[in-house]
Amino acid sequence: MGEGRGEEVIAMSVENLWRGLEASRRAFQEKRFDDLIVISQGLSQIADNLGLSLFSKVCRDVGSRAARDDPAALSACLSRLHRVADQSINSVWDLCDITD
C-alpha cells in the first residue's frame, strides 16, 4: 500500500470514526435505537481494522444495549464509548506523529 496511502487510509478511518460517533449521539437523542445498532457495528469494524480492540468492544456493548432498548444502560455505554474514542483516536494520531 505504501506509506503515503497508508496514512490516507488511517486518516479516512479516523474521520469515519468521528462521523460515526456523531451519528451515534444523534441516533440516541432521537431514540433511533435500530440505527444505533447499525452505527455501532460499523464503528466496531473500523476500530478492529485499526487495532483499537477496546474501542471495538465498547461499540459492541453499545449495540447490545441498544438492542435491549435500555436507555439508562445505553446512555452509560455511549458515555464510555466517547471517552474511549477520545483516548483511542489520540493514540492513533500519536503513533502517526512518531513515524513522521
CATH of domain 3-99: 1.20.120
Over the Cα atoms of the chain, what is R_g? Answer: 14
Task: Specify the pLDDT at position 58.
Answer: 97
- Assess whether pLDDT exceeds 60 at residue 1: no
Torsion of CA 31, 14, 16, 74, to 10 degrees: -10
Domain boundaries, the chain: 3-99
> What average pLDDT does the structure give for the chain?
88
Rounded Cα distance between 47 and 51, Å, is 6
CB within 8 Å of 60: residues ≥ 6 apart: 40, 41, 44
Instruction: Convert the pLDDT of each residue in 13-59 to its tens digit.
Output: 888 999 999 999 999 999 999 999 999 999 999 999 988 999 999 99
